[in-house]
Structure 1
């Protein structure tokens, strides 16, 4: 793709609530598109809704982008030639543009009340007509306007849509046409003077010279309105006169056929951070919600995505969020994209409070380092590490009654007693020697190693599954291993 002007995209979330994965997918596609073409990524905050926006959510957005590694070229903390990048700090700009649109005849004041509008919509629905605004105030006379003003009727500002179809080529969906009856005049300024999203978004795009708009499919219906507004802005000298190219990304579906929403538990970005997803793993999966590097390849790096990203290759069909596949891709990133040292460092938050159930002084970094390479091949998310190594740092193994019942069936005590005797006689406390001792105990009772080691594992770690047993016992040490087996035998005999 070539562009006559430098490519500029924007990511412009509202600071309401916690960031969600659908929002992150939009940020990722804009970022990859800009980086692929050597363009500019503008990060803009749409915070004109004082009732819903919060400083906490604003900071969460910045923190999320930093954590994900989706760097921006202009925006908060970086500034740029079109600062400020928070809409709440640009209100004078919007007020001026609204007045200029009114003066040029591209907008007008609408005095219809909410009740009047609803009554007309209901009548239109019953008659089978489009239920949008009918243009009641489009051509009011000066006398009618004066009468409304004298009556004290509040007014909003509406944009005057052209009486002709609007056609554009969507970068994802191809050529689309919207007819006038389906795109009525719309509000751009509230009765209290506050600008609406329908005004501020295109105004900022025009002033910030945005060349491409990649956003969710849910905003597709607003595109013809914005195209008409871009053209009007060009006529009154706002911006450079370029109408951006649009690409509408497919819906992300959750359960059933419903669009994944902020209210869905699996949509919150915080969930993935708290569970210990790698940013690279999560972004890799989100890229697959509408795009792929190759038909036979699901795992790739961000660098590979940037090199290959083509907006025309995005699939317009809805994409379903599959948590298990997301986890599997993250596990692959942990195994293949981190060195052992990087993995150990990434695990650190889950090896201390509030995630770790052991006392801080009980943590032994050398013991963890011995088992980290084995853990790296088994965890799906970084938070899995806590349960995998807690036996090393707790005074006693976890009390998992389900695991105890599964492993300590009739006859398990005899196997465990034999294993205890053999382990107690081991002089060279190494994984190989410990394995041989338990294997011999199993053979005494006609059991293969898998069956023989089950009660040993539960006695020492508290769980039926975990890291390789004999490397775990070697790291735990002779005294603690035998002490835990003795405790288990005492419980069985009691």
Structure 2
């Protein structure tokens, strides 16, 4: 049985779009789940728009998403001589011909024959001039080209609706259509999984494949991603570049889960890990309708994965996020405190920034700056209760249960509920009113730091 080979072939003209990331993910899953190869080709033939920075952004985005590829990335431009060689082979074999029509002549013909494919007068000419020429495919003029697509079904294109496309320009440079076909063949690609915006190109590419007598790859054209309003995804919908989702703090594992489920299904399964995705993923599960990007669902998936990740992996993801956003790295003390409270931090966090907000208490130093809303909980009476609590926990075992028991006892002594002491305690420890449980914070901060923060506030009580 032939080994499965897929490829992702982006053009390096900008950031990695989330739709492109999903295409890469589908190719990766299909190959990896079948013991195949996943190749990367940078289609950089558009020299005016292709940039090294965009190539680097693509590689960085794929790496962040956790997609590894086999071998070195292939530069399409670097293979231009091979593409030209194939065009000349087709010329010699009679499946292509020399076209001497100028740009102005072609433009004039199109103006007189709108909405018709260009018919070159040189297709069957025998008396050829000594002048610059392009090499055109001698495409079939009758019948139809059928794309047997694994998602779209049988797509039929009448051959008389396609022109004899240029394979090699008069300056000797190959066209994108030719380059894609030659590269896919030479790289041994067995399955072309890409967006359905390429579907119109496929009939033309099949004609080149057939002219060369090469085997056709299996095609699967997947619907594009739309916004929540059902319209083509664009900036008005929010994040569209993969780097923007990374900056919003969604863990890579969550993005893999969400993007896999975006346009593909396995029964009613919504939440799954990489091993399950590789085992389950197949072309038959891809729908024909455009998928809609749903940020609420993404947050749900993200929260699930954050909750499932081992504590040290969450910490590593946090540090990666801080590094990418240019924030200062965590100190050893901060890392220790965050790990100590990780169970509570993971419980409600949907994104890494949300988790960091909850972990603020572990990252700040004394004296704790108190936000205005939290400061309302720190009056003379509440500071007095904090002073009693400080004395009560001086010699506690510093287990969560003992700390909570001490707080309840102080509350009872003052004739109030536990919430009346939790508010000022939260403000003293974190300086904000939105935090994890006060007892989780106390255990994470440790005896010395907790008592010092409490003392800072009780000192103000006089």
Q: Deviations over 1:440-462 (max 9, x none)?
A: 67668886444653344234323
1:339 correspondence with 2:310: yes
Aligned partner of residue 239 in structure 2, secondary structure? helix
Q: Deviations over 1:25-62 (max 9, x none)?
A: 11121122223333332322222222222223333333
Report the counterpart of residue 91 of structure 2 in structure 1: 102
Q: 1:88 to 1:134 in 2, by over 3 A?
A: closer
Q: Which moved more, 1:108-117 or 1:211-220?
A: 108-117
Q: Deviations over 1:93-127 (max 9, x none)?
A: 111112222333333344555565556556555xx
Query: What's the CA shift for 1:283?
Result: 0.8
| CA distance in structure 2 between the aligned counterparts of 1:292 and 1:381, rounded to whole angstroms | 24
| CA distance in structure 1 between the aligned counterparts of 2:176 and 2:460, rounded to whole angstroms | 66
Q: Deviations over 1:214-269 (max 9, x none)?
A: 111110111111111101122xxxxxx21112110111112533333589751222
Q: 1:478-493 counterparts in 2 under 5 A? A: 478-486=450-458
Query: What's the CA shift for 1:419?
Result: 3.1
| CA distance in structure 1 between the aligned counterparts of 2:174 and 2:13, rounded to whole angstroms | 18
Q: 1:107 to 1:246 in 2, by over 3 A?
A: same
Report the counterpart of residue 165 of structure 2 in structure 1: 186
| Aligned residue among 225, 228, 232 for 1:259 | 232
1:291 correspondence with 2:264: yes
Q: Which moved more, 1:91-100 or 1:260-269?
A: 260-269
| CA distance in structure 1 between the aligned counterparts of 2:238 and 2:460, rounded to whole angstroms | 40
1:71 correspondence with 2:50: no
Query: What's the CA shift for 1:425?
Result: 2.6
1:133 correspondence with 2:117: yes
- Work out the number of aligned pairs and report it: 455
Q: When the two structures are superposed, what TM-score results if normalisation uses the length of structure 2?
A: 0.85
1:146 correspondence with 2:125: no
| CA distance in structure 2 between the aligned counterparts of 1:262 and 1:108, rounded to whole angstroms | 44
Query: What's the CA shift for 1:318?
Result: 0.3
Q: 1:398 to 1:379 in 2, by over 3 A?
A: farther
Report the counterpart of residue 278 of structure 2 in structure 1: 306
Report the counterpart of residue 61 of structure 1 in structure 2: 58
Name stretches of at least 5 consecutive residues in structure 2 with no aligned partner.
none
Q: 1:208-227 counterparts in 2 under 5 A? A: 208-227=187-206
| CA distance in structure 1 between the aligned counterparts of 2:148 and 2:328, rounded to whole angstroms | 56
Q: 1:9 to 1:196 in 2, by over 3 A?
A: same
Report the counterpart of residue 322 of structure 1 in structure 2: 294
Q: Deviations over 1:316-369 (max 9, x none)?
A: 110011122222212212222x223333333333567965568x6684443233
Does the CA-based 8 Å contact 1:356-1:386 persist in structure 2? no
| CA distance in structure 2 between the aligned counterparts of 1:486 and 1:43, rounded to whole angstroms | 62
| CA distance in structure 2 between the aligned counterparts of 1:165 and 1:346, rounded to whole angstroms | 52
Q: Deviations over 1:188-238 (max 9, x none)?
A: 33343221210100011222232221111110111111111101122xxxx
Q: When the two structures are superposed, what TM-score results if normalisation uses the length of structure 1?
A: 0.80
Report the counterpart of residue 155 of structure 2 in structure 1: 176
Q: 1:442 to 1:160 in 2, by over 3 A?
A: farther
Does the CA-based 8 Å contact 1:9-1:213 persist in structure 2? yes
| CA distance in structure 1 between the aligned counterparts of 2:228 and 2:215, rounded to whole angstroms | 40
Does the CA-based 8 Å contact 2:368-2:428 persist in structure 1? no
| CA distance in structure 1 between the aligned counterparts of 2:323 and 2:17, rounded to whole angstroms | 27
| CA distance in structure 2 between the aligned counterparts of 1:187 and 1:400, rounded to whole angstroms | 69
Does the CA-based 8 Å contact 2:99-2:123 persist in structure 1? no
| CA distance in structure 2 between the aligned counterparts of 1:109 and 1:400, rounded to whole angstroms | 78
| CA distance in structure 1 between the aligned counterparts of 2:36 and 2:443, rounded to whole angstroms | 54
Q: Deviations over 1:407-436 (max 9, x none)?
A: 555x86255334323323323454445545
Does the CA-based 8 Å contact 2:100-2:122 persist in structure 1? no
Report the counterpart of residue 198 of structure 1 in structure 2: 177
Aligned partner of residue 81 in structure 2, secondary structure? helix
Report the counterpart of residue 386 of structure 1 in structure 2: 356
Query: What's the CA shift for 1:397?
Result: 7.3
Does the CA-based 8 Å contact 1:460-1:485 persist in structure 2? no
Report the counterpart of residue 210 of structure 2 in structure 1: 231
1:395 correspondence with 2:365: yes
Name stretches of at least 5 consecutive residues in structure 1 with no aligned partner.
77-84, 126-130, 235-240
Aligned partner of residue 425 in structure 1, secondary structure? helix
Report the counterpart of residue 80 of structure 1 in structure 2: none
Does the CA-based 8 Å contact 2:349-2:355 persist in structure 1? yes
Aligned partner of residue 374 in structure 1, secondary structure? helix
1:7 correspondence with 2:8: no
Q: 1:333 to 1:196 in 2, by over 3 A?
A: same
Q: 1:110 to 1:440 in 2, by over 3 A?
A: farther
Q: Deviations over 1:64-118 (max 9, x none)?
A: 3334332333443xxxxxxxx3222212111111222233333334455556555
Does the CA-based 8 Å contact 1:276-1:382 persist in structure 2? yes
Aligned partner of residue 44 in structure 2, secondary structure? coil
Q: Deviations over 1:279-322 (max 9, x none)?
A: 22211111111112222x21111211221222122111100111
